[in-house]
Amino acid sequence: MLGDVFSYLTDGSNWSGSTGIAAFAIQQLLLTVTSLVIAVVVGLPPALYLGHRRWGGFLAVNVSNVGRAVPVFAVLLVLALGPIGSEKFGPFGRAGLATLVALVLFALPPIITNAYVAVVEVDRGVVEAARGMGMGEAKVFSSVELPLAMRVVLTGVRLALVQVWATATIAALVAGPGLGRVITRGFANHRTYEVVAGAMIVAVGALLLEGVAMLVERYADPMRRARREIARASA
């Protein structure tokens, strides 16, 4: 089995063309990045604002929990069969729009929950001290709350990234784009090695994205940078 998988993955003809692994991987990466960007733009600002104001915690957390409870495949199927349909959507392929909407909905819960909780859990003594120094609300948020909350906020984005990448595979079940097409093609043709190869590619892709996201999270965290500068100055 492993020999067949290796032969399949090292055969250049399996990677080329519109139905090759490379094309499906690009579709899945494009879906993942686009869905994540939309989810961040839609979910992050209100979650950060509600956390700063300490309003709507019950709504923010429970809406996110409901989003986690709804099966993504059920949402995708309804969208694909509904008004959005399974037509080709630009570079995203067949059922691309339905897949995009379903993945955005799936990416929102960890982003909203982490962002809200991160700001709410900032030490209130530090916040009140900043206000006592004469800082306005916008300055308190940008200079105190957001830097202290950034690590948890970025963790939520990282979780959403990896989850969306892995979940995008199910788009193939409604003739959608992505690496799931490799797996479903293997099932349809009774080629177990192709199924295993597709699953391995998705798993390796998830690990690579996790690693990249962790590096970005590490270097984008202002508190980590501040600690490094203090350590460098004291050395």
CATH code, domain with 56: 1.10.3720.10
Section 223-233 average pLDDT: 67
- Rounded Cα distance between 62 and 200, Å, is 34
pLDDT beyond 80 at 49: yes
Task: Quote the mean pLDDT of the chain.
Answer: 86
Greatest mean pLDDT among 36-40, 98-102, 146-150, 183-187: 36-40
- Rounded Cα distance between 179 and 131, Å, is 51
Q: Which residues contact 34 (CB under 8 A, 6 or more apart)?
A: 92, 100
Report which DSSP code applies to 93. Answer: -
Tally of domains in the chain: 1
- Rounded Cα distance between 133 and 110, Å, is 34
Judge contact between 40 and 111, C-beta under 8 A. yes
Report in angstroms the alpha-carbon separations of 94 from 80, 104, 179, 194, 224: 10, 17, 13, 22, 43
Which residue shows structure tokens 């979940």?
167
pLDDT tens per residue across span 6-35: 888 888 888 988 888 999 999 999 999 999
Beta bridge partners of 88: 94
Q: What is the pLDDT of residue 229?
A: 65
Q: Which residues contact 33 (CB under 8 A, 6 or more apart)?
A: none
pLDDT beyond 90 at 52: no
Residue range of the domain that includes 143:
2-234
pLDDT beyond 90 at 158: yes
Q: What is the pLDDT of residue 231?
A: 65
pLDDT tens per residue across span 76-124: 888 888 877 778 888 887 888 888 998 998 899 899 999 999 999 888 8
